[in-house]
Structure 1
Amino acid sequence: MRRLYNKFLKRWKDIILAVIAIILLAPLLMLIAVSIKLDSKGPVLFKQQRVGADKALFTIFKFRTMCVDTPKDMPTHLLTSPDAHITRIGRFLRKTSLDELPQLFNIFEGSMSIIGPRPALYNQADLIEKRDEVGANDLKPGLSGLAQVMGRDTLSIEDKAKLDGLYSQNVSFGTDIKLIFNTVQKIIKRDGIQEGAS
């Protein structure tokens, strides 16, 4: 059953849930887009190359939360002064994780899944290498995942990779549903969000 889920059902679940979410959240998506345009100069969407399944690169979509002159390919938690780059509306979007909503379109078109390892930047060689060791790079990256609900930005590279590997060995419908509900709880509590280098 797990093999069937991984090969077919997980993808169909992703499509159905992504379509439902896009339809229900359409007014919110439009409101956020307008707010970004009114708040600062630049595009509504932030696009970036990330590592997908089998380490193939894909373009991830996010709502832009930073000024256009921010270093593009550096993880936010490594910026020495992230507050200097984050826009006013961006601060709210990041705290509520609403900046991640455009990834619903990544999920719909097939480069991402609802649950999986968070997509690494192409230059995060340490994380990519650790995920190779545990087989996590074989999976589609997720909007959320086990590492997200277990600590998110506060976890070390090693711990993130271990949790991603643990998920890769236990992918199932029940696990995914549980992680979806856990993600909602974490977002409401705003757990694990860290801006800037620690």
Structure 2
Amino acid sequence: MYKYFLKRIFDLMLALIALPFFLIILLIIGPIIYFQDRGSIFYNAPRLGKDGKVFKMYKFRSMKMNALDLRNEDGSTFNSEDDPRLTKIGKFIRKTSLDETPQLLNIIKGDMSIIGPRPDLPEFIDVFTDYERRKLNVRPGITGYNQAYFRNSNTLKDKFSNDVYYVESVSLLLDLKIFFRTVFGVLKRENVYISNENERSKNIL
């Protein structure tokens, strides 16, 4: 009942309640992003959604225009506090997770949920094992089990495994735990950036 019906109702209600706060953030952050390098405010990233459908995920742009696409050895996105591709405001919105707030629009459109596996790049559809594909059985989320308990500190394969664990365990109680754990982690700014590959393997389920 919750997984297939109530979860979507709660998503819509909370997204609509939060929408005015997003508009305030947009009015403040948007001009700063633009005037730092005269570039676009938003970064529209193609991502895998429910059942493998590709959609455009909205984010505030945190990198300089036409920045190179850097990846780690496992194919995950390179993420470092000293990344020269980040703008000054980009470092701030990354640390505070404000860059993710435009995804409220994705929730309203039905592409995403508040809680769920973080959406992957479209090319990952050919990387998933049959087991890992189960993460596509639900809408991806602004935050999820990985982000709440590990942020950016585990390996890509561990993330996939954790995502499937979430999909098979979805409940209102689990979503509430993830939500409040995420808020706590954002306030503490834990594991926002990864400095080396060893740190990615510190935490295990």
Same fold (TM over 0.5): yes
Aligned-residue Cα RMSD (Å) equals 2.2
Q: Which residue of 2 aligns with 1:101?
A: 101
TM (norm. structure 2) is 0.86
Give how far 1:153 is off: 1.7
Q: Structure 1 residues 25, 89: CA separation in 2 closer, same or farther (over 3 Å shift)?
A: same
Is residue 89 of structure 1 aligned with residue 89 of structure 2?
yes
Indicate if the aligned counterparts of 1:114 and 1:143 stay in contact, CA closer than 8 A.
Answer: yes
- Give, in whole Å, the separation in 2 of the partners of 1:121 and 1:38: 29
Structure 2 gap segments, 5+ residues each: 198-205
Give how far 1:41 is off: 2.0
Deviations 1:121-150 (A, max 9, x none): 112357x504x4142111110000001112
Q: Structure 1 residues 99, 37: CA separation in 2 closer, same or farther (over 3 Å shift)?
A: same
- Give, in whole Å, the separation in 2 of the partners of 1:27 and 1:38: 18
- Give, in whole Å, the separation in 2 of the partners of 1:157 and 1:195: 13
Q: How many residues align?
A: 193
- Give, in whole Å, the separation in 1 of the partners of 2:33 and 2:16: 23
Indicate if the aligned counterparts of 2:116 and 2:141 stay in contact, CA closer than 8 A.
Answer: yes
Q: Secondary structure at the match of 1:91?
A: helix
- 107-116 vs 76-85, which moves further: 76-85
- Give, in whole Å, the separation in 2 of the partners of 1:11 and 1:49: 22
Q: Which residue of 1 aligns with 2:202?
A: none
Structure 1 gap segments, 5+ residues each: none
Q: Secondary structure at the match of 1:83?
A: coil
Q: Structure 1 residues 151, 81: CA separation in 2 closer, same or farther (over 3 Å shift)?
A: closer
- 110-119 vs 76-85, which moves further: 76-85
- Give, in whole Å, the separation in 1 of the partners of 2:185 and 2:56: 26
More helix by share: 1
- Give, in whole Å, the separation in 1 of the partners of 2:131 and 2:49: 16
Is residue 47 of structure 1 aligned with residue 47 of structure 2?
no
Give how far 1:54 is off: 0.8
Give how far 1:174 is off: 1.5
Residue type of the alignment partner of 2:118 = R
- Give, in whole Å, the separation in 2 of the partners of 1:146 and 1:111: 18
Is residue 68 of structure 1 aligned with residue 53 of structure 2?
no
Higher relative contact order (CA 8 A, sep 6+): 1
Identity of aligned residues (%): 36
